[in-house]
Amino acid sequence: MHSRSHGAFDTKGSTLQAGRWHSIGTRVVYAAEHVSLAVLETLIHAGGKKIPPRVITQISVPDDLPIERAAWMEMPHSQAFGDDWFREQRTAVLSVPSIAVNKLERNYVLNPYHPGFRQITQEEPEDFVFDPRFFLHF
């Protein structure tokens, strides 16, 4: 999920703020395995604040594009792992467990500088409206 002013493959946020699987300045893109996981991750990262309008963009990774799969690790080990994966250009996609759902579903970290990234496609973004019941306490 992202704002309409930023594309699905925009890396600006990753240069300004570290994530579980990257350090500040490492230009990566995070994606979720399912729409519901993207919603949950967005809500968690909003820190209880109301979320401005968002769009969601479906991306497709070709079946023959290699994906590295990472096991769960705590920070800062996960950041070092992701930074090494990025720097070494091991794959265009890193599959990582999501803490938001007890590591039962996967998020994806994308490396837009890997040659295989060009094979990843995106649909047109669609407006996404959060169910107002998420924000009843505001």
Largest CA distance in the chain: 46
* pLDDT tens sequence across 36-61: 999 999 888 887 777 888 899 999 99
* pLDDT tens sequence across 95-134: 999 999 999 999 999 999 999 999 999 999 999 988 888 7
Tokens of 117: 């990234």
| Pairing mode, strands 93-97 and 106-110 | antiparallel
Amino acid identity, position 82:
G
Return all residues near 138 (Cβ < 8 A) that are at least 6 apart: 50
The predicted model scores a pTM of 0.89
Element (H, E) at 41: helix 35-45
Return all residues near 41 (Cβ < 8 A) that are at least 6 apart: 1, 30, 32, 98, 100, 107
Neighbours of 70 (CB within 10 A): 16
